Amino acid sequence: MPRFFWSTVESQIGTIYVASTVKGICKIAIPGETKKDFMTWLERHADKGPIVEDQQKHRKFADELNRYFGRKLVKFHVRLDLLGTPFQRRVWKELRKVRYGTTISYRELSRRVGMPRAYQTVGRANGANPLPIVIPCHRIIGSDDKLVGYAAGIKTKEFLLRLEGALLV
């Protein structure tokens, strides 16, 4: 049985790579992360298990993603398989509570996970998020309201926040 299934989805921001296990989606690579980086991540987590391309496996995700980009979906419902440390999963769980159309600071995220002075550590967990957009790490901004720290680049972060109505100017 394959360890991972993967496919591509075309979107308004470019080609997105997506992978899942039998439990759910575990990795999304948005533009800024190369296919090589994506496959390296899968190989590192596959424990020598097979990695199989399957475009049909991610149809529900592709549909939800298209609805998100069309402003018809504010929360994803696809099943997830979070592959990370317990601390990372705690941060990612908190990220999922940041509502569509809103932002919070890294400092606030740190407070919410019970580590108010560890915003750099929390920021690293945020940056390690394997499921961007679905786990909305783009909604985390600097304490001075500046757009900082997004793997796909600040322009993509700005695009997503404008799409959601979190940036009006």
Reply yes or no on whether 137 is catalytic: yes
CA dist 3 and 159 (Å) reads 33
Using alpha carbons, list the distances in angstroms from residue 68 to 16, 50, 87, 100, 151. Answer: 14, 31, 28, 10, 20
By the 10 Å C-beta count (0-12 exposed, 13-18 middle, 19+ buried), 38 is classed as: buried
Which among 62, 137, 140, 141 is annotated as catalytic?
A: 137
| Tokens standing for residue 129 | 């998020």
Where would I find the H helices in 2-53?
A: 35-45
Q: Is 56:47 a contact under the CB 8 Å cutoff? A: no
- String of b and e for 122-143 (b: at least 16 CB within 10 Å)? bbebbeebbbbbbbbbbbbbee
By the 10 Å C-beta count (0-12 exposed, 13-18 middle, 19+ buried), 150 is classed as: buried
Cite the active site residues. Answer: 137
